[in-house]
Amino acid sequence: MRKDIEFPVVKDVYVAAVKEWNDDFTSHDWNTYLINTSENNLEVVIVVSRGYDDNRKTAILRHGFGTVPSKTFQKIEMITDEVLSFTNEFMLTYFIGDRLFEKTFRFAPYSINDKNAEMIPLMKTEGIIAK
């Protein structure tokens, strides 16, 4: 039965947006990162991202990363200024051993901005951590 299924809690894994210089566009852009501060390697990592508001939605993007080692971070994608007013979701799925973990991280509309920046674990830079 559904009540018998155990859903392990995602701990020490985050999605964050960090403003960085982009040489290709010669501008500062927001990039999203998967951050693994846990003692475990994350295996078969998949991130599905999308953005939406009441009237519009972005394309759904899928990213496969294989393994994200313990105490490392992995760039997911750039977020353009046009979708900062959207709710931006990052649905994370991964394995530790034979256990499946899932969590959806969300950036609220307009939450990705310089005034909300805080120190990001492991990266030693400022950014916004998704809820």
Task: Quickly list DSSP for 39-105.
Answer: SS-EEEEEEEEEEE-SS-BPPPEEEEEEEE-TTEEEEEEEE-GGGTTSEEEEEEEEEETTEEEEEEE
Q: What is the pLDDT, as a whole number, of residue 24?
A: 87
Residue pair 124/115 in contact by the 8 Å Cβ criterion: no
Q: What's the mean pLDDT in 85-110?
A: 97
pLDDT 10s digits, 5-40: 777 999 999 999 999 998 887 889 999 999 999 999
Domain boundaries, the chain: 2-129
- For residue 117, give the nearest of 126, 106, 130 by alpha carbon: 126
Q: How far is CA 82 from CA 18, 53, 126, in A?
A: 16, 12, 22
Count the neighbouring beta carbons within 10 Å of the beta carbon of residue 51: 22
Between CA 80 and CA 98 the distance in angstroms is 36
Choice among 48-52, 119-123, 126-130 with the minimum mean pLDDT: 119-123
The answer as to CATH 2.60.40 being correct for domain 2-129 is: yes
Q: pTM for the full model?
A: 0.93
Q: What is the pLDDT, as a whole number, of residue 2?
A: 63
Q: Which two tokens stand for residue 123?
A: 């990266």
Q: What's the mean pLDDT in 65-73?
A: 98
